[in-house]
Amino acid sequence: MELGEKLRQARLNAGLSQRQLCGGEITRNMLSQIEHGTCNPSVSTLCFLAKQLGLPVSYFLEEETVASSNGRVMENAWASFEAGDASDAMGLLEGYHGPDPVFDREYAILKALVLLQLAQESLEEGRQVYAGKRLNQLRELEGKLPWFPELTQRRLALQARLQEPVPESQLRCLDEELLLHAAAALERNRPQRAAAFLEACEHQESARWHLLRGRAYFAMEEYAAAARLLQQVEQTEPTAIPLLEQCFSALGDYQLAYYYACKQRR
């Protein structure tokens, strides 16, 4: 059973709707995509969903659930890590015996998080050499977690604190976060702030970018600029249609305003 199918079945077994499972952490649209297998969750999202459902992360990562002697090791190591004792967690992880089809990926995730914490603590204590060794261990581990890009970004941030050069090709594009901030700013009726986030995006070709930028222009009463962008996405973004009607009405182009008013009723 695929991860998305397992997640959907676990949600139904718990008697939760998609909205209830999402809480305030992720959107319902993202959860739907994960359940249908059209996108993969980040490790932080998967951990959140597992906690909401009262299930271990390993339940979603493995095709079959079988007994494993490493269960207790993982449980104790997680407890130490969550209590803020990364050194104790690392010592407990030394008792892990692999390969283990149930816990190998969860073990790699936890070890990566522990290494990050130990490296950060070492930097704060001025032990740069020890921090560098932990980051090197982490770099070797990243190959086992290709679907966990946050891991590399956090390592690079600590690497920069060690004054080691960071290749630009390894830096993550921040467009997704900027789009989220822009959408939130629009919801709070702060279009200028939204526009600033959108102009900072590296890529400005997506339908989502055009829609949000058009909404920002509209909120600032720059109707001609808003209409120009919204017309480019009216075929794929239905919410652009009523905005276009209002744009052309404000611009005095009542023929186009009437066209978009009729288009809404189709």
User: Per residue in 149-199, pLDDT tens?
Assistant: 777 888 888 888 887 665 656 556 678 889 999 999 999 999 999 999 999
- DSSP 3-state of 204: coil
Please say if the pLDDT value at position 96 is more than 60: yes
Written as six digits, the tokens of 239 are 């919410």
10 Å CB burial of residue 112 (0-12, 13-18, 19+) is: buried
User: Per residue in 197-256, pLDDT tens?
Assistant: 999 988 899 999 999 999 999 999 999 999 999 999 999 999 999 999 999 999 999 999
CA pair distance 254, 133, nearest whole angstrom:
68
Contact 145, 151 (CB under 8 A): yes
Written as six digits, the tokens of 173 are 């594009």
Written as six digits, the tokens of 122 are 């070492």
For 24-143, list the strands marked E by DSSP: none
How many other CB atoms are found less than 10 A from the CB of residue 41?
20
User: Per residue in 51-87, pLDDT tens?
Assistant: 888 888 877 776 544 446 688 889 899 999 999 999 9
To the question of pTM greater than 0.85 for the whole model, the response is no
pLDDT of residue 63: 52
